[in-house]
Amino acid sequence: MKISKEELLHIANLSDLKISESEIDKYLENLEDILEYTNVLESASIEELDETIGANDNENVFRKDEIKEFEGRDALLQNAPDLEDDMFRIPKVIN
């Protein structure tokens, strides 16, 4: 599986990661290695099979519509790198 540099950079952009020029080759090599390994799946006989969706066969697991207030709000907000008026501050976003 050959992956182009542009494709790699597009994927990195979707992941909000930056890959520097010097890292590109290494990333491409690693990615191609593992994708090549996944070629073994070509020989799996899966035509008749459904996809596994979720790891178990639980179904209809629901919660009652009852309010339960979380009591650790302050501890939760304390982790914020930049908090103002109990809100998370970010660079100005113009909508």
Partner 1 sequence: MEEITTLTVHELSKKLENKELTSEKIVEAYAKRIEEKEKDVGAFVTVTAQQALEEAKRIDSENIDRENNKYAGIPIGIKDNICTKGVKTTCSSKMLENFVAPYDATVTQKINSEMLPSLGKLNMDEFAMGSSTENSAIKVTHNPWDLNKVPGGSSGGSAAAVAANMVPWALGSDTGGSIREPASFCGVVGLKPTYGLVSRYGLVAFASSLDQIGPITKDVEDSAILLNMIAGHDEMDSTSYDIPKIDYTASLKNDIKGKKIGVPKEFFGEGINEEVKTKLREAIEIYKELGAVVEDCSLDVAEYSLATYYIIACAEASSNLGRFDGIRYGYRAKDFSNLKELFTNSRTEAFGDEVKRRIILGTYVLSSGYYDAYYKKAQKVRTLVKNKFDECFKKYDVLLTPVAPTTAFEIGSKLNNPMEMYLADICTVSINIASVPAISIPCGVDSKGMPIGMQLIGNRFNEETILNVAYAFEQKIEFRENYKPSC
Partner 2 sequence: MSREDYEVVIGLEVHAELSTRTKIFCSCSTEFGANENTHVCPICTAMPGALPKLNEKVVEYAVKAGLATNCSISQDSKNDRKNYFYPDLPKSYQISQFDKPLCNHGYVEIEDDDGNKKKVRILRIHIEEDAGKLNHDEYSSGSLVDLNRAGVPLIEIVSEPDLRSSGEADRYLKKLKSILQYINVSDCKMEEGSLRADVNVSIHKPGTELGTRHEMKNINSFKAIQRAIEYEIDSQIDDAENGKVIQQETMRWDDLEGRTFPMRSKEDAQDYRYFPDPDLVAIKLSDEYINNIKENLPELPESRKVRYMEEIGLSEKDADALVSSRRFSDIFEEAGKICNDYKSVCNWLTSDISRILNEGEMDPEEIPFKAKELAELVSLINDGTISSKIGKKVLEELFKEPRSPKKIIEEKGWVQISDESEIKEVVMTVLEANPQSIVDFKAGKDRALGFLVGQAMKATKGKANPQMLNKMFLEELKK
Q: By the criterion CB under 8 A, which residues form the site for partner 2?
A: 13-14, 16, 53-56, 58-70, 72-73, 76-77, 82, 84-95
Which listed option, partner 2, partner 1, none, makes contact with residue 37 (CB within 5 to 8 Å by class)? partner 1
Instruction: For residue 67, state whether it binds partner 1 (rule: CB under 8 A).
Output: no
For residues 3 and 28, the answer to whether their CB atoms sit within 8 Å is yes
Q: Residue type for 28, please?
A: L
Residues facing residue 83 across a β-bridge: 88
Is residue 58 near partner 1 by the rule CB under 8 A?
Answer: yes
Tell me whether residue 1 or residue 80 sits nearer to partner 2 (CB atom).
80
Beta pairing partners, 78 = none
- Residue 31 binds which entry of partner 1, partner 2, none, CB below 5-8 Å type-dependent: partner 1
Residue 44 touches partner 1, criterion: CB under 8 A: yes
Note whether 30 binds partner 1 by CB under 8 A.
Answer: yes
End-to-end CA distance of the chain: 40
> What are the C-alpha distances in Å from 76 to residues 81, 87, 91?
12, 12, 21
